[in-house]
Amino acid sequence: MARLIVASVHGALWLQTHFPEEEWTTLLSGEACFGMDCLSTLLVDAHSAGLFVNEPIVVES
């Protein structure tokens, strides 16, 4: 599982085009967790949309 943190207005707008309005608060506050396969698909789409995606490796215990 991985968390997605939005760092720009463009990133927030992009997320809003991919998820229903009732999920925006969770997404924009960095509380949403994604499986790596789902996150990988989202990141490919974000790159295709011209967004810069910083992908640090974070280990949570």
Q: What is the pLDDT of residues 3-49, one digit of tens each?
A: 888 888 998 999 999 999 999 999 999 898 888 888 889 889 988 99
Q: Which secondary-structure segment (H or E) carries 34?
A: strand 33-34
User: Residues 51-61: pLDDT tens digits?
Assistant: 888 876 666 65
DSSP letter, residue 14? H
CA angle 48, 50, 14 (to 5 degrees): 85
* Residue that has been written with the tokens 């640090």 in this structure: 56
Which tokens sit at 54?
A: 């910083």
Q: SS3 for 54?
A: coil
